[in-house]
Amino acid sequence: MTSSAQKLSHASLQQAAQWYVQLQDDNLSPHLRAQWQHWLGQHSDHQAAWHYVQRVGQRFTPLQGEGAAAGRALREHDASRFSRRTGLKSLLVLGASSLLGWRAWHGAPLSGLGADMATGIGEIRETRLADGSQLWLGAQSAVDMEFSTFSRVLKLRFGELLVETAPDPRRPFFVDTAQGRMQALGTRFAVCQQGENTRLDVYAGAVEVCTALSGERCIVQAGQQVDFSAEGIGSTRPAQSAGESWIHHRLNAEDMPLAHLLQTLGRYRHGHLGWHPEVANLSVMGAFPLNDTDRALELLQAALPVRVQRLTPWWVTVEPA
């Protein structure tokens, strides 16, 4: 860690990083922007942490042309200049275009407010639903529950869940995501939201998928996995145990892309976990502890041609060795 970072508190640094990413959102409300300005003016530590986060980004991508203009815009602390155009430029500062895989953790805490059930970083929750079904909710996930006399519905806002449904012939069981609806046909299955896609792994019974926009339908049988968007359903392939291994605080990787594994690990550790595009598609095999992500990163470094770069304890990237 650099000497400047050592002088700052972990809380100030993490808050600065979270604000930095939230300010890229086109839909950011004026109220939230005012909150950022208030936070910035509260203490000199906040201002120092804000500058430090920007400097960290600059270590990954040379600021030239429009990228330099984005850096200057951020340093001026003028929230009114955070347009969509500026937001995309500032992501370049953090290397999203060429050096870092920037995971979308920034939206999760906000969109989870008011959810019926939500989890924080590294938290896994298990609960028995009113109908006797068993639900597990992964780290940094949120779900709403709508049970009536006609149906049982779980609405996954973000993150992942595993559910083992209880039989009830009069009330079908559904899981909804932004990409579509899944109807359980007497089953145990896992659902994970990944950006603009939903991943479904079926371990028992079957699940019918119906996409949100195109209305395409497909029945996924036990032992199968499928990804789908709001407009279409991909081809089925063998289900992966990773979809349920996390309930035991480990991630079983079976020919898993490194980016997918790191995205999952990122929900179980504080701070930023990024990766170089060149290592994103490396295939990973093995079991990795979710309750000790530093150990998991050590295992990856030992098994793959990668290097774990720690700029601070909370800002970690995985790069080619």
β-bridge pairing 272-275 and 315-320: parallel
* DSSP letters spanning 252-312: EEEEEEHHHHHHHHHTTSSSEEEE-GGGTT-EEEEEEESS-HHHHHHHHHHHSSEEEEEEE
β-bridge pairing 152-158 and 160-164: unpaired
The answer to whether the beta carbons of residues 188 and 165 sit under 8 Å apart is: yes
Domains 115-242 and 249-320 share a fold: no
The dotted CATH code for 249-320 is 3.55.50.30
The dotted CATH code for 115-242 is 2.60.120.1440
Q: What share of the chain is helix, strand, coil (3-state, %, to 5)?
A: 35, 30, 35
- C-alpha 20/C-alpha 59 separation (Å) is 16
Single out the residue of 288, 290, 284 nearest to residue 303, CA to CA.
284
User: Could you list the pLDDT tens digit for every one of the 321 residues in the chain?
Assistant: 444 444 566 567 667 777 776 766 667 778 778 888 888 888 888 888 777 766 655 444 443 333 334 334 444 444 443 344 343 333 433 433 333 333 334 445 555 667 899 999 999 999 999 999 999 999 999 999 999 999 999 999 999 999 999 999 899 999 999 999 999 998 999 999 988 999 999 999 999 999 999 999 999 999 999 999 999 999 999 999 999 999 999 999 998 999 999 999 999 998 889 999 999 999 999 999 999 999 999 999 999 999 999 877 788 999 998
CB atoms within 10 A of CB 291: 12
Residue extents of the structural domains in the chain: 3-99, 115-242, 249-320
